[in-house]
Amino acid sequence: MDNNQNQNKNNKNDKKAWLLVLISTLITGYLLFSLFSMAGKASKKEISYDEFLTMVDDGRVEEVIIGSDKLTIIPKSNTSGNEWQQLFPGMKITYYTGVVKDDTLTERLYEEDVKFSSEIPDTVTALIMNIVFTLVLPFVLIFVFMSFMMKKMSKGGGIMGIGKSNAKMYVEKETGVTFKDVAGQDEAKESLQEVVDFLHNPKKYTEVGAKLPKGALLVGPPGTGKTLLAKAVAGEAKVPFFSVSGSEFVEMYVGVGASRVRDLFKQAQTMAPCIIFIDEIDAIGKSRDNALGSNDEREQTLNQILSEMDGFSTDKGLLLLAATNRPEVLDPALLRPGRFDRRIIVDKPDLKGRIDTLKVHSKDVRMDETVDLEAIALATSGAVGSDLANMINEAAITAVKHGRRVVSQSDLFEAVEVVLVGKEKKDRIMNAEERRIVSYHEVGHALVSALQKDAEPVQKITIVPRTMGALGYVMQTPEEEKFLNTKSELDAMLVGLLAGRAAEEIVFDTVTTGASNDIERATSLARAMVTQYGMSERFGLMGLESVQHKYLDGRAVMNCGEATASEIDQEVMKMLKASYEEAKRLLSENRKALDEIAAFLIEKETITGKEFMEIFHKINGNADVPKEDLEALPEAEFEEE
């Protein structure tokens, strides 16, 4: 019933809009027609018959058209005009006078060399064509042009709809997504399932005195499934679901965004219970306390959202969902209880979450018995749902490329490498000297990792260049997923990152540009140990940096003065220097292993962690390789040159 009423109302509005366009067209056409009619009348001037004869005698007449009731006189071009001729430079002034019985007129015109002819009356066809081209056609063209322009201005679809909401409405069958299709976000699903249950069974909550939350804010890094969760809510709730992006509210015209917000909430209230989902709400919800200036259109839109959220009652079952990866920039008024009552964190999945996510995305992919999704999940620490979906798809493409009808574990390993470091660059051929340098560099990383008890085991070493810029890399895999790192583990990471440069200096007595990525990562880690983790003897537990945009780039901002910042640089430099010296010491003491493994790598280009450990233990006089060192797992981290 409500849908029919809304449809009838929209039809009435469209009819009014068309009527407005028609009236505007008629008025514009009438004004133009009147203007040209006045100009046409002004181009014809009545004179007396004796004035006409004087013009003929003076040689100022070019042509005379003799009609049944008047004479039309066309003067020569040098004849002066009037103000209308000045307004329209291309206009030619003509004169007319009444017909007088004068038998000498023809002879006088002939003597003065004036062209003269008799006017032929217009036929009916000529009259109709004249009316069509002078009256009907201009009105039609003006009407079509105005209709086209008003449709272009109306992004909402419909005449005069510039202030209408662009929200798309979905129902359960159209989204095709339920909570079964979302994995790795159990806590987020639990919070949203309560909301869905409230919409289905409001009575059991209201009997206790509970109220439906007005809004829920989904917060997390890009690719974790915030929009997918919102679609799953629509699929589970089986209620109308309005979906709109925050950027669609902001236009160049001030007031349009606020108008669209009003229209959106008005539509939603007529169809309650329902859900409104605003994706990327930070586009309109930024804090109004901005020292760099303000945006009137965005602030008006935000104020209208705040007003609408205060204005509707949860008794109708209206829920506002929003998603963002920049919660720190949102206005405090938007985040307070009574507006967005719940903040649902949609973070990067843990090991179990990654396994479940891989199962969801691989349910329609043919796989053989070698596939171990747990190993892939362990290897992809820090990956989000979109990364894992991409890896499964890349593995399927790789299997087809190699002529297989099922996906194997090797395809998944290769897909992980493609997503993280790019495809192999088979056309890039390094010379013999560069191959030696890259080999020693990568073996330096791997050997130091094997020599330190707190380092992660090596899975693979390769010197095959990749499309993302790496000339080689070392694949390392954690034995188990960890959420904390000890200081000894971080120290081991620093030594391992700088071991590639140390190997270059020991073997070639020089250094190359290949360690730039290692130095950048080592510097960032050492600075975090000093400023954020309190692992510096000099500064102790003092917090010297804070992280901004934690769900995006995680950039750190200094919270100290210039003098302290200079001391931080000295402390970081000291830590890096100590780690570099430790890497050089370890490699110098195991120079034989370094040389033999590097020679083997140059020959093979790619070696597994098992092969690496066999050579390492053989050189160290221990041929019995521990089982845990030989059970290779896929990658979690890369040491690149």
CA distances (Å), 630 to each of 41, 480, 608, in order?
103, 16, 9
How sure is the predictor about 581, in pLDDT bands with cuts at 50, 70 and 90? very high
pLDDT tens readout for residues 473-514: 888 877 777 778 889 999 999 999 999 999 999 999 999 988
Same domain, 334 and 450: no
Both 103 and 202 in one domain: the answer is: no
User: CATH code at 615?
Assistant: 1.20.58.760
Residues 436 and 417 in one domain: no
- Using the 8-state DSSP alphabet, how is residue 330 labeled? B
485: which residues sit within 8 A by CB, 6+ positions away? 493
pLDDT at 496: 92
pLDDT reported for residue 545: 82
* pLDDT recorded at residue 627: 41
Q: What is the DSSP pairing of strand 70-75 with strand 94-98?
A: antiparallel
Q: What CATH number is associated with residue 245?
A: 3.40.50.300
Q: Give the whole-angstrom CA distance, residue 465 versus residue 541.
A: 42
Q: Are residues 602 and 500 in the same domain?
A: yes
pLDDT confidence tier of residue 620, bands split at 50, 70 and 90: confident
Q: Is residue 439 located within the same domain as residue 414?
A: no
pLDDT tier at 149 (50, 70, 90 boundaries)? low
Residue 84 has pLDDT above 50, yes or no: no
Question: Does 129 map to a domain?
Answer: no
Residues 6 or more apart whose CB falls under 8 angstroms from that of 311 comprise 265
d(CA 160, CA 462): 63
Question: The domain that contains 120 carries what CATH number?
Answer: 3.30.720.210
Which comes out higher in pLDDT, residue 48 or 641? 48
Helix (H, G, I), strand (E, B) or coil at 473: strand
DSSP state for residue 407 in the 8-state scheme:
B
- All residues at 6 or more sequence positions from 638 whose CB lies less than 8 Å from its CB, including other chains: 420, 421, 470, 473, 474, 475, 476
Average confidence (pLDDT) over 107-114: 75
Name the band, by pLDDT with cuts 50, 70 and 90, for residue 5.
very low
Is the pLDDT reported for residue 616 higher than 80?
yes
> β-strands 215-219, 318-324: how paired?
parallel
First-to-last C-alpha distance (Å) of the chain:
67
Q: What pLDDT is attached to residue 6?
A: 46
17 — pLDDT class (breaks 50, 70, 90) = low
**Per-residue pLDDT at 177:** 77
314 lies in a domain? Answer: yes
Catalytic residue selected from 280, 394, 417, 442:
442
pLDDT of residue 13: 54
Using DSSP's 3-state secondary structure scheme, residue 492 falls into helix
pLDDT confidence band for 587 (50 / 70 / 90)? very high
| Residues 379 and 463 grouped into a single domain | no
In a domain, 426, yes or no: no
With H, G, I as helix, E, B as strand and everything else as coil, classify residue 447: helix
Active site residue 581: no
Distance CA 276, CA 36 (A): 54
Give the lowest-confidence range in 268-272, 340-344, 432-436, 561-565: 268-272
Domain with residue 404: its CATH number is 1.10.8.60
DSSP string for 57-88: HTT-EEEEEE-SSEEEEEE-TTS---HHHHHS
Residue type, 625: V
Task: Give Cβ neighbours of residue 376 (< 8 Å, ≥ 6 apart).
Answer: 354, 358, 391, 412, 413, 416, 634
Q: Is residue 605, in this structure, part of any structural domain at all?
A: yes
Q: Are both 493 and 581 inside the same structural domain?
A: yes
Question: Both 485 and 518 in a single domain?
Answer: yes
Q: pLDDT > 70: what percent of the chain?
A: 73
Q: Residue 133: what pLDDT?
A: 59
Q: Which of 18-32, 500-514, 523-537, 570-584 has the lowest mean pLDDT?
A: 18-32
pLDDT tens digit sequence for 238-267: 778 888 887 777 765 556 777 788 888 888
| Dist CA 542 CA 559 (whole Å) | 10
Does residue 146 fall inside a structural domain? no
pLDDT tens for 510-533 read: 999 888 889 999 999 999 999 988
Question: Is residue 267 situated within a structural domain?
Answer: yes
Within-domain flag for 133? no
Q: Inter-axis angle of helices 2-42 and 137-153, to 10 degrees?
A: 140
Among 154-158, 294-298, 601-605, which is the least confidently predicted range? 154-158
Give the pLDDT confidence score for residue 325 in this predicted structure.
86
Split into its structural domains, the chain has a count of 4
- Indicate the Cα dihedral angle 451, 452, 456, 462, nearest 10°: -30
- The mean of the pLDDT values for the chain is 77
Shared-domain flag, residues 574 and 497? yes
Residue 407 structural domain:
365-421
Residue 520 covered by a domain: yes
Q: Which of 67, 89, 124 is the last residue of a domain?
A: 124
- 484 plus 608 within the same structural domain: yes
Rank 144-153, 424-433, 560-569 by mean pLDDT and report only the highest. Answer: 560-569
The residues with which 169 forms a beta bridge, in sequence order, are 242
Q: Are residues 386 and 337 in the same domain?
A: no
Residue-wise pLDDT for 383-436, tens only, equals 888 888 888 999 999 899 888 899 998 888 888 888 777 777 766 677 888 889
**How does residue 152 score in pLDDT terms, banded at 50, 70 and 90?**
low
557 and 486 both lie in a single domain = yes
